[in-house]
Amino acid sequence: MSGAVTKGAAIYEGKAKTIYATSRPDLLIQYFKDDATAFNGKKKGIIQNKGICNNAISSHIFGLLEKEGVKTHFVSKLSHREMLVKKVEIIPIEVVMRNVVAGSLSTRMGIPEGEQIKEPVMELYYKSDPLGDPMINRYHIRAFNLATDEEVRFIEKESFRINKWLLSFFDKIGIRLVDYKLEYGRSPEGVLLADEISPDGCRLWDKATGEKMDKDRFRRDLGMLTEVYEEMTRRTLAAT
């Protein structure tokens, strides 16, 4: 399928990825950059080789999720930095799944980072850079037509299913899956898991040492950025 596809013009320049058209109207190329941003774009930097790591990690995880019956936009990994994906219309809702208290949940609830949550917490945010992704709920989604009730029901159910699988996957590679963000898109095949699953959008803590193995190292100036992304890539690709 991917053999005949050629790369077209850049159609969207994101913070960490560029999206290209292809010779196929139903397919796009996600190009993973080394650019890193945090705090809604206020902090900017480069993490050498991050794009290569995120493409490898995301491609591997999407491939495994597909085998579990999760429908994703992933088609194939084309090169170190390029992923062939199905064209989707991104639903403007960011789903955050949480298994351990950290980040904005710690601030909101006044609970220290690291406390295990007794059952997974799902949060919904309106995907809007100018607004800084505010938290929303089902009533906002319905009132402002962000998604249909059927889409929301599907996204919620799918996110809990994905969480169960990801928890066990990361556990096997010595990682505590703290929290992460998922995005979905509409396609002719229905709603697909889209975007990426990588240390850019996940909190991943080493089970043995508690070391942060994700973009919090950049957000919090902890150093060892490339080393940690490369270590996560090594562990992820070794697991099935």
Q: Which residue is nearest to ligand 5GP (CB)?
A: 103
Instruction: Give the nearer residue to ligand 5GP in terms of CB position, either 74 or 218.
Output: 218
Least distance to ligand 5GP from the beta carbon of 205, Å?
A: 11
> Cα-atom radius of gyration of the chain, to the nearest Å?
17
Letter for the amino acid at 7?
A: K
Look at strands 175-187 and 93-100 and give their pairing: antiparallel
d(CA 91, CA 55): 22
Angle at 116 between CA 193 and CA 178, to 5 degrees: 35
Phi, psi of 39 (to 5 degrees): 55, 55
Instruction: Give the nearer residue to ligand 5GP in terms of CB position, either 96 or 166.
Output: 96
Q: Which residues here bind ligand 5GP, judged by CB under 6 A?
A: 94, 96, 102-105, 133, 179-181, 200-203, 215
Instruction: Give the nearer residue to ligand 5GP in terms of CB position, either 65 or 97.
Output: 97
d(CA 235, CA 100): 21
The answer to whether 160 touches 166, Cβ cutoff 8 Å, is no
Least distance to ligand 5GP from the beta carbon of 144, Å?
A: 19
Instruction: Give the nearer residue to ligand 5GP in terms of CB position, either 31 or 180.
Output: 180
Least distance to ligand 5GP from the beta carbon of 201, Å?
A: 4
Least distance to ligand 5GP from the beta carbon of 6, Å?
A: 29
Letter for the amino acid at 36?
A: A
Instruction: Give the nearer residue to ligand 5GP in terms of CB position, either 58 or 59.
Output: 58
Least distance to ligand 5GP from the beta carbon of 222, Å?
A: 14
